[in-house]
């Protein structure tokens, strides 16, 4: 998962280094704070789902709710990031800047879609009584994917807004 996203980040850095004059759209900053807050909340919710399940009698239901909220935060952060670039006028077919940013967004969308499907799967397992506490391997595996998705989202949100320094 991470290698493909790292290659997209490298493409962004390479094209910026080779042709900084092609960067025509100043990086919008509107998504920074809400996006990072949503991604942070997603990671915290996913991380806290396991300890909550272990400590509470009805923790498995609460952990399913926390994983669902984590997924919702990831989807919202992706939407905020995409709309920030779209409203700034950046299109994927207009320049190397657009192509690399939309490549990162497209790959992250793939990961977020996997998270969405995983969240539904985990809730379905919980509803059937197949996600018992104090711990289960499904939750452990999904927590890692959800936290990775939040980290990847933060990297994709920050890189094009920090480089070029100050935008356009």
CB 146 within 8 A of CB 42: yes
Give 166's pLDDT tier (boundaries 50, 70, 90): very low
> Residue 155, CB half-sphere, CA atoms under 13 Å: how many?
18
pLDDT digits (tens, 9 = 90+) for 47-87: 999 998 888 877 788 999 999 999 999 999 999 999 999 99
In DSSP notation, 124-146 reads: HHHHTT-S-SS--HHHHHHHHHH
The vertex-9 CA angle with 6 and 11, nearest 5°, equals 110
Separation between Cα atoms, residue 74 and residue 116, nearest integer Å: 9
Q: pLDDT by residue (tens digit) across 81-127?
A: 999 999 999 999 988 899 999 999 999 999 999 999 999 999 999 99
At 168 the pLDDT is 46
Structure token pair of residue 17 = 């280094």
CATH number of 2-15+29-160: 1.20.120
The band of 30, judged by pLDDT with boundaries at 50, 70 and 90, is very high
By the 10 Å C-beta count (0-12 exposed, 13-18 middle, 19+ buried), 71 is classed as buried
- Kindly state the average pLDDT of the residues 129-136: 83
Average pLDDT over residues 150-156: 98
Structure tokens at 95: 């320049």
Domain limits, the chain? 2-15+29-160
Q: What is the mean pLDDT of residues 12-29?
A: 89
């Amino acid at each position: 998962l991470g290698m493909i996203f790292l290659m997209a980040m490298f493409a962004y850095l390479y094209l910026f280094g080779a042709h900084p004059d092609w960067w025509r759209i100043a990086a919008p900053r509107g998504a920074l704070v809400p996006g990072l807050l949503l991604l942070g909340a997603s990671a915290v919710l996913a991380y806290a789902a396991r300890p909550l399940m272990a400590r509470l009698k009805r923790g498995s239901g609460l952990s399913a709710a926390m994983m669902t909220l984590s997924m919702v935060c990831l989807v919202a952060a992706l939407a905020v990031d995409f709309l920030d670039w779209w409203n700034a006028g950046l299109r994927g077919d207009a320049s190397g800047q657009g192509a690399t940013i939309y490549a990162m967004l497209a790959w992250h969308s793939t990961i977020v879609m996997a998270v969405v499907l995983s969240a539904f799967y985990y809730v379905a397992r919980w509803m059937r009584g197949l996600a018992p506490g104090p711990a289960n391997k499904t939750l452990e595996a999904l927590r890692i994917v959800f936290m990775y998705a939040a980290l990847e989202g933060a990297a994709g949100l920050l890189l094009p807004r920090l480089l070029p320094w100050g935008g356009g």
